[in-house]
Homo-oligomer: A and B are copies of this chain.
Amino acid sequence: MNPPDPGSLAMNTATLWESCNLRRAVDVLRRHAVRGIAPWRDRVGEVGVKEAARIIRDSGLVVTGLCRGGFFPAPDSKRRRAAIDDNLRAIDEAATLEAKCLVIIGGGLPQESRDLRGAREMVRDGLGEILDHARSSGVSLAIEPMHPMYCADRGCVNTLAQANDLCDELVGKGGTGIGVAVDVYHTWWDPQLAREIERAGEKRLLAFHICDWLVPTTDLLFDRGMMGDGVIDIPLIRSWMEAAGYRGMHEVEIFSKNNWWKRDPDEVVATCRLRHETRC
């Protein structure tokens, strides 16, 4: 494997969750010659989307994705409608930010529900409701399969096969406006991953998120590792992405409450830079 192009490094603002607002994150990334950013809507909302777009545009950063839309399943039609409306706003924000995609997390089971199939149908139907607005706004929807341990409460789309099936169902094989985000943390265990990356192909592969799976993992949510500190063969998965035609950036997304979130953001980004070159 060749090392990755250093210019392909991007940073999800979740990696700097506790240390940086949007403006500070942008400053840190520029200091380390990082060329891409994926902001969370929380960080965007703090300054307002127009100002966020201006800050990012002035910095020359590419917006690899806006985090995040989705969360469609809800116990009643009123709340399902509210979720759709929120996604329509997220699409507008993604358009203003000129984001490469809006990352879509399916959402989990509605409260008190055990109807997993029904929840998955709500995800499909919700995507169907927002697809036209996404297309007319020039925003691509990137369905991000979530690790099965998040199935109940965050994301009931749990494999890339499922995400690809959703794309097929919504827009057909060659359809546009919707694709997938591949995060190594959520998908590395999947025996069908190589095949499904190939199936997704260049057009549907909208984002590539990197971090690592630690052994042991001590928290379901906030114990993701820095690339190289865990067991994921990131270069292998990157090779599958590239063989399928992916030429986008490599976005670091590390939720790490007790380690990386506690550190100085310059140290975090410098480490990401080094590990990207040597371990990805």
Contact = CB atoms under 8 A, between A and B. Distances in A.
A109 interface: yes
Contact of A120 (B153, B161, B162, B191): B191
Interface stretch (A82-90, A167-175, A212-220, A259-267): A212-220
Contact of A148 (B189, B215, B220, B233): B189
A233 B149 CA distance: 16
Contacts of A189: 116, 148, 151-152, 156, 158
A147 interface: yes
B215 A153 contact: yes
B191 A162 contact: yes
Contacts of A108: 215
State the copy count for this chain.
2
Main secondary structure of the interface of A (DSSP, over half): loop
Interface in A200-226: 213, 215-218, 220
Interface residues of A, number: 32
Given A116-B188, A116-B189, A152 B233 contact: no
A114 interface: yes
Interface string A84-110: 000000000000000000000000110
A231 B152 contact: yes
Contact of A149 (B109, B120, B149): B149
A277 interface: no
Contacts of A231: 109, 113-114, 116, 152
Contacts of A218: 220
Given A148-B189, A149-B149, 7 more contacts: A109-B231, A113-B231, A115-B233, A149-B220, A152-B217, A159-B191, A220-B220
12 contacts: A109-B231, A113-B231, A114-B232, A115-B233, A116-B231, A148-B149, A149-B149, A151-B189, A152-B231, A153-B215, A158-B190, A216-B220
